[in-house]
Amino acid sequence: MERIFEAVRAAGLRALAVALAAAALVGGTPTPARADASQLCRAASNMVLAPADVALSPFIAAKDEYYGLREIGDPMALKVIAAGPGYLLLLGLQAGGTVFREISALIELPMGMVTLFREGAQPPLFRSQQDAWALYSEDYGVCPVHFGVSYNTINDG
């Protein structure tokens, strides 16, 4: 009986060795790279730079209001009366846009890891961050770096 167990154990070890060698040969063959890190990079960039947008929210809201007061042809009395509430509104919109940027980063992070193993990239979940005016805006290959982003619609420059 012990001879049978020894024979099965020896055959099992040989079969395991052959299976591992075959897996190494099949899995080790090089294939063309298909990874797309743009979504993962965008998610990481949004996650890291969204706090800078929160910190710069008072400045960005003031800049947007200054632009709106100068460019929009409202009567002077309306501009004077609405300046305070308008600033608070723009500040809230700016902070809210930053929260959406952080949430989109958290949603895109796991999807970005999946796209590393397949072709193609997903479009941004929160596109306005890439299209909006920012204090600093640069694209390093597939990795966008934007901070001090204005999420308010009155701003186009």
Q: What are phi and psi of 126, to 5 degrees?
A: -125, 80
pTM across the whole model: 0.66
Residue-range domain boundaries for the chain = 1-30, 34-149
What is the predicted pLDDT for the residue at 59? 93
DSSP-derived secondary structure letter, 153: T
Task: Please report the sign of the dihedral spanned by the C-alpha atoms of residue 44, residue 48, residue 54, residue 60.
Answer: negative
Burial of 60 (0-12, 13-18, 19+ CB in 10 A): buried
Mean pLDDT for 101-106 is 89
pLDDT digits 0-9 by tens, 25-82 = 666 666 665 567 778 888 888 889 889 999 999 999 999 888 888 888 888 888 888 8
What is the predicted pLDDT for the residue at 144? 80
